[in-house]
Structure 1
């Protein structure tokens, strides 16, 4: 198993972590957090709001994260940067101004559970439109960019305009209905999602019984994401991929199992049950599986579970390291026995189903999993 503390110590020497230290904010670490809304924030001089950095061990230097807060009636300082950023609003409502150097400002409004991404290196400013503080989560690829350039002034003050990504189009932040399938996954090209909780999703039975998933491609980013939903009393099939994918619990409650692929498809049966990590999640819970670790999502609540994932793995602007980690584009949807990185129900450790059924019994929730004949 990875020595996460040793890895964290080594990461302190990177340009990204040196930059974090210079920002003067708290840094919270772990495999996951039960409720990111409870993270203690400190004044953030550079942005004019409050914030705290989050490092989940599974990010492994590819993605970064912070929680931000905008005071009642206030706004953050305008900024631009050379890293991609996806912003999810946990609480509050307001608006964002976006513009390119020398061009007019464009504004769009958002509320609780809205999601958007400022176009790369465009000026943007977040404004609180309500009487309560706005709290949001941002996932970035800043670790990659900071470690490559090692120059904060260049990252935040580069004059180049990426006009091919954003040219001030009036409809840029309109919610679109541009949906289609590519390979085995349902895609949605949109630069703004008004409410993650009510967004329509498509069937993805490859990932599990009655699982729904839609992948959103946003702001011409490499950093994208997906929304998933599955019924009460059910769970996903286990799978693995590369590092850096953050998952956020939105509805219902449950747990996730994580174990290194080195422990095999059936870790309990192989005598490695003590190395399987179980993390609980509910609304506001987050976790990030380390690269090459199987992970499996379980719903133990009374209603449908909904997750938001922010990650690499775009189909429009793919990254080589993401494809390689899951073997091919559809790797996480294809069983290992067919060249992918997913464990079919009949190939999983029987102890996984037994433990799930026992947990549901304690919760008073009926198990609705289909019958399985183990291989």
Structure 2
């Protein structure tokens, strides 16, 4: 049989199309809270898919809506999922398949929680305004791997190691510690991601704070990062699938392929640099092994929520995309030492000039210490 001249779409792509709700694509979305949504029979609410270039089949996203005083349909799936509440307030019930015992908790705008693997759950809007939420998951990987909807959405296996029956405090306990990545918190619920305290991680950039959140025994994790007015991160690269969501302030991110060089403008490859604006409610996703660099041009401390591979439960494919160098993740190690973090003194000089000009247009003074660019300790 002669091969077809047309490439087949993935099972996940087919599934998204069959679900009949809008699919929003690109490098980034300015504000996911306002994307077009449509009725989604699967949940009984309104929803849309966000499928960015950098998600690359690793990560999926839905933006969902719950009408006032309404509840969604019972959900259950064999993919890992985080839920971030973008507006409104409500409650959730979670339980193991076949178990009558339910764990319930309340949430509000800014709440962030994990649904344990293959647990049944219901989200309720208990307020008078619509709820909008963001669900980030690994559904593309799971659906593409099994390419069988019944196995993914109608599987009664009980992951009691992820959600022990009758465990008290599942959505209230938190344990914080430090490891090779930096500050880590094991928790399944954060009341408000806008205000939770973070740990110092200055190796990523001047004044950067960050904490990793390991939730529900997942192999994907999240971290929250903040950095001051008038400053920006060092450029770095890693495997695709990471998704970043703007929580506070505004700015832009520069994204470019490694082939364009660590100094793309000097190398004559400025046309290969993609600039994506970010602000509260925005999402973007850098493709695999593309340098990306985060800039704060707003009037307040920047804060972003990021989804990425886990630290406690790493997978081989993500570890290959972010190898351990000298006992630390490559994203925290300089390219001079075999990592993927570009020191300020090695970056393209235009990066700093353009940033200063962007701040000037906003009436903000740059606050990058001069010694950052000299390699001084």
Q: Which TM-score bucket, shorter chain as reference?
A: over 0.9
Matches of 1:213 and 1:86 in 2, distance apart?
18
Structure 2 unaligned segments of length 5 or more: list them. Answer: 1-5
The alignment's TM-score, normalised by the length of structure 1, stands at: 0.95
Matches of 1:202 and 1:96 in 2, distance apart?
29
- Does the residue aligned with 1:351 lie in a helix, a strand or coil? helix
- Does the residue aligned with 1:198 lie in a helix, a strand or coil? coil
Deviations 1:307-336 (A, max 9, x none): 000122x11100111111122251111111
Does the aligned pair in 2 maintain the 1:175–1:194 contact within 8 Å?
no
Partner of 1:365 in structure 2?
A: 364
1:96 corresponds, among 71, 92, 97, to 92
1:151 corresponds, among 130, 148, 151, to 148
Matches of 1:345 and 1:205 in 2, distance apart?
13
RMSD: 1.2
1:239 corresponds, among 236, 239, 243, to 236
Does the aligned pair in 1 maintain the 2:206–2:368 contact within 8 Å?
yes
Does the aligned pair in 2 maintain the 1:350–1:374 contact within 8 Å?
no
The alignment's TM-score, normalised by the length of structure 2, stands at: 0.95
Matches of 2:181 and 2:36 in 1, distance apart?
40
Deviations 1:214-240 (A, max 9, x none): 010001001111000000000000000
Count of residues in Structure 1 that have an aligned counterpart in Structure 2: 364
Partner of 1:192 in structure 2?
A: 189
- Does the residue aligned with 1:197 lie in a helix, a strand or coil? coil
Deviations 1:152-188 (A, max 9, x none): 0110111110000002312000052x11111142111
Give 1:352 deviation, angstroms.
0.2
Partner of 2:75 in structure 1?
A: 79
Structure 1 unaligned segments of length 5 or more: list them. Answer: 1-8
2:273 corresponds, among 276, 297, 316, to 276
Does the aligned pair in 2 maintain the 1:251–1:305 contact within 8 Å?
yes
Deviations 1:39-78 (A, max 9, x none): 0110011111000011000001111111000010001101
1:173 corresponds, among 171, 174, 195, to 171
The 5 A counterparts of 1:211-222 are 211-222=208-219
Moved over 2 A (4+): 372-375
Matches of 2:184 and 2:105 in 1, distance apart?
23
2:301 corresponds, among 289, 297, 304, to 304
Q: Kindly tell me: are residues 310 and 48 of structure 1, through their superposed partners in 2, closer, same or farther at Cα, counting changes over 3 Å?
A: same
Partner of 1:353 in structure 2?
A: 352
